Amino acid sequence: MQTVPLATPTRGWSFWWKPVVFLLIAAIGLYYVKWSPYYLKSFIAADTHTIGASIINDNPANPWAAALAYAQVYFLAIWKAAVLAVILGSLLQVLIPRDWLLRLFGRAGLGSTVRGGLFALPGMMCSCCAAPVAAGMRKQHVSVGAALAFWIANPVLNPATLVFMGFVLGWGFTALRLVAGLVLVIGVSMVAQRISRAEPLPEEAVDAVVNAEATQHGSLLARWGKTLWSLFWTTIPIYIVAVLILGAARVWLFPHVDGAMGNGLMWLIPLAIVGTLFVIPTAAEIPIVQTLMALGLGTAPAVALLMTLPSISLPSLLMLRKSFDAKVLVTVAVLTVLVGIVTGLIGAALL
């Protein structure tokens, strides 16, 4: 029996306006939330060699008070970015053609993973704000490696954060963060991709998506509303609860720092674990480390915190619990801790 080739629908303005609208919303939102504020903050960092006080500097003794105080400061810092992230994560699923995403990010391999990391660079989001967009990518069947690279690269390879770090902590810290960040983004994503054992995406499956999208039912607004609610419900409530829990736990997570906290493994390993689990706004790792080093924290644990604090967090891991297998998320967390430890040791030797 003769096989009839799949027909590709003609794509006119009725098709192209959707990606154009998505790009406009993303550009305007990111300019307002990220690009403009960070541009102005870069001059402050260059002039004063600081970008503000440490977000964990209040030293509360009561866990309940610690939870409420931290949640207030944290959410005031990130709420605009979080709202934008949920909007973009949902619009990605209804405005960007799925076959575009599959051709760019659908295959399990190095190329797809690198493209996922590059796609993250304009976002400059923290791990929790990047999580809804990564969840939206996974809803469109983007590969595990590409979605993870996007998620981790947002905070780790944030260009603004790297600039702030150079002005505040020194360009040696920036260079080490950049090199270790590339290893973390690409290496961890590739390992997690292999563990997930995803099958390579056949070209025929990508082509078939074009025909499937042509028969979608329901208005665009209705589909977006459904997608937006689903993404919000699966990510934001658990996010809020996890932030409150970590806000309370910081009473015990961050010990009193003094000159005795050198570069030994006794401090390096626990702080690498704490940094992996704790949640902070974008670039907050810089004033945290600056304050702790002024109090006597050694270079090794300081560098470990610089790597692990922004990379991922317990709330962001929970937000993506329905997007990735548990073994993938556990692998990412363990490897992040290891990268933090190794980078800390390298930092103690070089910086």
Question: For residue 149, what are the contacts with CB-CB under 8 A and spacing of at least 6?
Answer: 113, 114, 116, 117, 120, 185, 186, 189
Question: What was the pLDDT predicted at 204?
Answer: 47
Please state, in angstroms and rounded to a whole number, the distance separating the CA atoms of residues 219 and 223.
6
Q: What is d(CA 148, CA 129) in angstroms, rounded to the nearest whole number? A: 13
In a domain, 334, yes or no: yes
Domain assignment of residue 48, yes or no = yes
pLDDT tens for 205-240 read: 555 454 445 445 568 889 999 999 999 999 999 999
208 by DSSP, 3-state: which?
Answer: helix
Is residue 104, in this structure, part of any structural domain at all? Answer: yes
The arithmetic mean of pLDDT across residues 145-164, rounded, is 97
Instruction: Look at residue 8 in the predicted model and tell me its pLDDT.
Output: 47
Give residue 34's domain range.
16-202+221-350
Total domains present in the chain: 1
- pTM (two decimals): 0.90
**Least confident piece of the model among 243-247, 293-297, 322-326:** 293-297
Q: Is residue 332 part of a domain?
A: yes
Does residue 3 form part of some domain?
no
Q: How far is CA 306 from the centre of its chain?
A: 14
**CA proximity to 162, closest of 143, 146, 176:** 176
- Work out the pLDDT band at 81, boundaries 50, 70, 90: very high
Identify the pLDDT of residue 208.
47
The arithmetic mean of pLDDT across residues 34-50, rounded, is 96
Structural domain contains residue 273 = yes
Q: pLDDT at residue 9 above 60?
A: no
In a domain, 2, yes or no: no
